């Protein structure tokens, strides 16, 4: 409701003519008039029925009190006179009539109008005529007049002009009240109508705005999910559609197929006809394909000349693809030249059971397409069950690794790197393990290959860096001042911000001298873009860290390459150490590697020293530094301080003098 509803009004204003001269009675009359006015207000403003009813109850009960009070005065002054009895009967009639009106079955509105009309007239009459008469009579009796004489006097006083006045007043009040109420009701109705109108207008406006917002949203969606060139869905669009499809409650058995399509020789066509014509071909082809696929299928352009197709009914995949092939083959007219198109496709049938992610399905289709492109010139291939389960297993492992990282399930074991002759502990190689909640302690072969090309590898690598620096700090506190080597994966080393992130990690351990950290990298990791690798290694060395070339000898590095790579140390792969006792070929390789490292001024560390004899041979070749089971396997960090304290080199090695080196 609006605020412009008038406040309560007096339909029945108090008038001095109402006064009887008896104070108490006049006060009570005022209360009655007030209640009547309130009732009129509620009636006119059409508030709840309940309120009118409550006010009416109030009126009745106040009237009962008032009548009793009044009658007591009359009776006292006029002692049980007939006049007083009549007055009492008139009072009782009042209740009877009100009840009768109230219980009427006529429409509410009608009843209220009549009730109100009755009440105003009755009250006016009760006050102006009946009570006045009584009060005057009482006054005269109290002045000493006999009762019948007093009554005669009153009769004559209230006849003639006085009775005309009373009748006129009654008439006026009657009319005034009913027309005022009528006016009020009309006014209130108009106000309500205005309110309703403004509410409706407001609603309309709101609705219009909502419609506009919806349109805008639809427009945005169109932009986000469709391909402007062809009007087909784009990659996001089909992923969304596949996701919706996967989310459907009931999917028919052997349901959908997802097809990744790549046009054959599109690049040639582009070069030869120009981009515009090529674009036109994409548009025309899209239109033809849209006509060739069933209504429930979904076709998208996912890249330049790449398309994806969702077929909810995989049973007909073969014939649908055949139809696409035939329509593409029909010649297209482009600037007077006739061309036709062919394509290669990878098809993935939706798995029956476990619901896979839409992204994964599309990637599987893409991978199958790439395999198809290698194996055939044109046509389509299906993802086979073996591939699917392999793919699935890898996805699960990735998920598990991610979870393991979050749950802090990875551990670092440490393997000492020593000087065989002096026994000095040069450092410890950090080697990752996974304390898997179900599978137990896993060595890296069980999980690192799965993330070899994945960004997760970087997360793992950063964890290893941080954890080994934290461990150094921890050993420092225990009085063991040690160095650590960390294996850096190829994609981690080649990641955009390797140097920056390394320096940030180092900054987190201000008490650890970066020179105590050695990074073991693989030849293959640095092989890619040599200039870039050299710059990156030099940048990192500026931070203080050193570099080792891991698994040295297994790669293909040319001598010139080795010369340019700014690493400090070469770690000779264990392949060349094993069997040196009786493998003369390995022995000469080792000899060569060691000689080479001298020429280039690099340190050499031999990996995989398992026997005392192997150590002796290495020493005799001039290689003093080594790692291997002969000294210690990788062990937990907590065991390192004790190992360092107890470790003594073998007497056979200690006896070798440096001068014996060739």
Residues that bind Ca ion (CB under 5 A): 487, 520, 550-551, 607
The crossing angle, in degrees rounded to 10, of helices 358-375 and 235-247 is 120
Spatial distance between the Cα atoms of 308 and 259, rounded to a whole number of angstroms: 5
443 binds ligand C2E (CB under 6 A): yes
Supply the minimum distance, in Å, between the C-beta of residue 444 and ligand C2E: 4
Nearer to Ca ion, 56 or 549 (CB): 549
Smallest separation (angstroms) from ligand C2E to the CB of 214: 52
Give 631: exposed, middle or buried? Use CB within 10 Å, 0-12, 13-18, 19+. Answer: buried
Please say which residue, 343 or 413, places its beta carbon nearer to ligand C2E. Answer: 413
Measured distance CA(635)–CA(441) in Å, rounded = 13
Looking at beta carbons only, is 14 or 463 nearer to ligand C2E?
463
Closest distance between ligand C2E and the C-beta of residue 465, in Å? 9
- Determine if 550 is a binding residue for ligand C2E (CB under 6 A): yes
464 in contact with ligand C2E (CB under 6 A)? yes
Instruction: State the binding partner of 634 from Ca ion, ligand C2E, none, CB within 5 to 8 A by kind.
Output: ligand C2E
Q: Shortest distance, CB of residue 486 to ligand C2E, whole angstroms?
A: 6
Residue 400 contact among Ca ion, ligand C2E, none, beta carbon within 5 to 8 Å by kind: none
Is the CB of 237 or the CB of 553 nearer to Ca ion? 553
Neighbours of 565 (CB within 10 A): 21
Indicate the angle between helix axes 49-78 and 108-125, nearest 10 degrees. Answer: 20
- Does residue 223 contact residue 280 with C-beta atoms inside 8 Å? no
Q: How far apart are CA 483 and CA 415, in angstroms?
A: 11
Q: Based on CB atoms, which residue is closest to Ca ion, 45 or 546? A: 546
User: Does 627 interact with ligand C2E (rule: CB under 6 A)?
Assistant: yes
What's the min distance (Å) between Cβ of 275 and ligand C2E? 44
> Torsions phi, psi of 430, nearest 5?
-80, 125
Say how far apart CA 215 and CA 211 lie, in whole Å.
6
Nearer to Ca ion, 487 or 656 (CB): 487
- List the one residue from 634, 640, 649, 653 that touches ligand C2E (CB under 6 A): 634
Closest CB to Ca ion among residues 33, 631: 631
Residue 35 or 430: the one with the smaller Cβ distance to ligand C2E is 430
Considering only 21, 629, 638, 639, the residue that binds ligand C2E (CB under 6 A) is 629
Q: Virtual CA dihedral for 556, 557, 558, 564, nearest 10 degrees?
A: 170
Decide: 547 and 566 in contact? Cβ < 8 Å.
Answer: yes
Least separation in angstroms between residue 485's CB and ligand C2E is 9
Is the CB of residue 233 less than 8 Å from the CB of residue 311?
Answer: no
Per CB under 6 A, the list member of 146, 252, 304, 444 interacting with ligand C2E is 444
d(CA 659, CA 662): 8
Sign of CA dihedral 145, 146, 147, 152: negative
Q: Which is nearer to ligand C2E, 307 or 410 (CB)?
A: 410
Q: Which of residues 333-372 bind ligand C2E (CB under 6 A)?
A: none
Find the shortest distance in angstroms from Cβ 516 to ligand C2E.
17
- Dihedral sign of CA atoms 475, 480, 481, 485 in order: negative
Backbone phi, psi, residue 602, to 5°? -105, 155
User: Rounded to whole angstroms, what are the CA distances from 482 to 472, 507, 567?
Assistant: 7, 19, 21
Q: Which does 443 bind (CB under 5 to 8 A by kind): Ca ion, ligand C2E, none?
A: ligand C2E
Distance CA 662, CA 656 (A): 12
The minimum distance between CB 552 and Ca ion, in angstroms, equals 8
Measured from the CB atom, is 70 or 607 closer to Ca ion?
A: 607
CA 506 to chain centre: 35
Please, which residue, 356 or 550, has the CB nearer to Ca ion? 550
Q: Is 448 in the site for ligand C2E (CB under 6 A)?
A: yes
Cβ nearer to ligand C2E, comparing 63 with 412:
412
How many residues belong to the chain? Answer: 662
Tell me which residue of 526, 568, 573 sits closest to 554, measured CA to CA. Answer: 573
When binding is defined by CB under 6 A, the residue of 431, 493, 545, 572 that contacts ligand C2E is 431
444 binds, among ligand C2E, Ca ion, none (CB under 5 to 8 A by kind): ligand C2E
Q: How many CB atoms lie within 10 A of CB 171?
A: 12
Cα(189)–Cα(109) distance, integer angstroms: 14
**Which of the ranges 103-111, 311-319, 605-613, 650-658 carries the binding residues for ligand C2E, by CB under 6 A?**
605-613
Contacts of ligand C2E in 474-493 (CB under 6 A): 487, 489
Q: Is the separation of the CB atoms in 283 and 237 below 8 Å?
A: no
Tell the smallest beta-carbon distance from residue 610 to ligand C2E (Å).
4
- Phi-psi region at 381: left, alpha or beta (left = phi > 0; alpha = psi -120 to 50): beta
Question: Coil, strand, or helix at residue 52?
Answer: helix
Q: How far is the CB of 233 from ligand C2E (least distance, A)?
A: 40
Token pair, residue 265, equals: 């020789």
Nearer to Ca ion, 348 or 484 (CB): 484
Full strand arrangement of the beta sheet holding 306-311: 298-301, 306-311, 257-263, 343-349, 379-382
Residue 179 structure tokens: 């027309």
Widest distance between CA atoms in the chain: 162
| Residue 416 interacts with, from ligand C2E, Ca ion, none (CB under 5-8 Å by kind) | none
Instruction: Decide: is 416 part of the binding site for ligand C2E (CB under 6 A).
Output: no
614 binds ligand C2E per the rule CB under 6 A? no
Decide: is 432 part of the binding site for ligand C2E (CB under 6 A).
Answer: yes
Site size toward ligand C2E (CB under 6 A) is 21
Which residues of this chain interact with ligand C2E, rule CB under 6 A? 415, 430-432, 443-444, 448, 461, 464, 487, 489, 550-551, 574, 608-610, 627-629, 634
């Amino acid at each position: 409701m609006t605020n412009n509803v008038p406040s309560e009004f007096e339909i029945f204003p108090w008038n001095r003519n109402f006064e009887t001269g008896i104070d108490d009675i006049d006060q009570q009359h005022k209360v009655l008039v007030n209640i009547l006015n309130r009732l009129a207000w509620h009636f006119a403003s059409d508030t709840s029925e309940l309120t009118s009813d409550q006010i009416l109850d109030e009126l009745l009960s106040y009237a009962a009190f008032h009548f009793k009070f009044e009658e007591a005065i009359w009776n006292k002054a006029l002692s049980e006179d007939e006049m007083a009895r009549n007055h009492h009967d008139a009072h009782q009639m009042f209740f009877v009539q009100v009840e009768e009106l109230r219980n009427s079955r006529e429409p509410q509105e009608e009843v209220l109008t009549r009730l109100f009309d009755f009440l105003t007239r009755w009250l006016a009459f009760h006050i102006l005529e009946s009570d006045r008469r009584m009060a005057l009579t009482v006054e005269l009796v109290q002045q000493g007049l006999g009762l019948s004489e007093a009554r005669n006097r009153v009769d004559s006083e209230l006849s003639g002009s006085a009775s005309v006045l009373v009748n006129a007043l009654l008439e006026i009040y009657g009319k005034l009240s009913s027309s005022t109420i009528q006016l009020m009701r009309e006014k209130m109705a108009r106000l309500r109508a205005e309110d309703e109108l403004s509410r409706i207008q407001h609603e309309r406006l709101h609705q219009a705005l909502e419609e506009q917002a919806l349109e805008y949203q639809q427009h945005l969606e169109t932009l986000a999910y469709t391909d402007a060139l062809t009007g087909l869905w784009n990659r996001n669009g089909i992923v969304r559609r596949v996701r919706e499809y996967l989310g459907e409650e009931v999917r028919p058995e052997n349901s959908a197929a997802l097809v990744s399509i790549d046009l054959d020789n599109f690049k040639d066509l582009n070069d030869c006809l120009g981009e515009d014509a090529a674009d036109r071909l994409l548009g025309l082809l899209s239109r033809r394909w849209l006509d060739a696929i069933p209504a429930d299928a979904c076709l998208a352009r996912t890249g330049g000349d790449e398309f994806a197709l969702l077929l909810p009914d995989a049973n007909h995949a073969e014939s649908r693809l055949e139809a696409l092939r035939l329509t593409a083959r029909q010649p297209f007219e482009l600037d007077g030249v006739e061309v036709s198109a062919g394509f290669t496709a990878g098809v993935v049938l939706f798995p029956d059971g476990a619901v896979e992610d839409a992204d994964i399905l599309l990637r599987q289709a893409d991978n199958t397409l790439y395999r198809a492109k290698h194996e055939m010139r044109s046509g389509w291939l299906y993802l086979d069950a073996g591939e699917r389960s392999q793919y699935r297993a890898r996805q699960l492992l990735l998920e598990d690794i991610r979870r393991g990282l979050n749950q802090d399930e990875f551990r670092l074991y440490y393997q000492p790197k020593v000087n065989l002759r002096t026994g000095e502990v040069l450092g410890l190689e950090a080697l990752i393990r996974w304390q898997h909640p179900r599978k137990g302690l896993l060595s890296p072969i069980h999980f690192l290959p799965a993330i070899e090309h994945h960004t997760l590898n970087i997360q793992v690598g950063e964890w290893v860096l941080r954890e080994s620096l934290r461990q150094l700090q921890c050993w420092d506190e225990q009085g063991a001042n040690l160095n650590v080597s960390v294996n850096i994966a190829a994609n981690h080393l080649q990641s955009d911000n390797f140097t920056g992130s390394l320096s940030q990690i180092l900054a987190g351990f201000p008490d650890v001298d970066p020179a105590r950290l050695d990074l073991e990298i693989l030849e293959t990791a640095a092989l890619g873009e040599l200039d870039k690798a050299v710059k990156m290694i030099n940048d990192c060395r500026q931070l203080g860290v050193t570099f080792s070339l891991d698994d040295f000898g297994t790669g293909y590095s040319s001598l010139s390459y080795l010369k340019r790579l700014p690493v400090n140390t070469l770690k000779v792969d264990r392949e060349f150490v094993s069997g040196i006792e009786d493998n003369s070929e390995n022995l000469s390789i080792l000899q060569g590697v060691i000689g080479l490292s001298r020429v280039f001024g690099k340190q050499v560390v031999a990996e995989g020293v398992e026997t005392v004899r192997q150590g002796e041979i290495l020493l005799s070749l001039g290689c003093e530094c080594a790692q291997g089971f002969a000294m210690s396997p990788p062990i937990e960090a907590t065991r390192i301080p004790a190992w360092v304290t107890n470790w003594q080199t073998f007497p056979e090695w200690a006896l070798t003098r440096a001068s014996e080196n060739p």
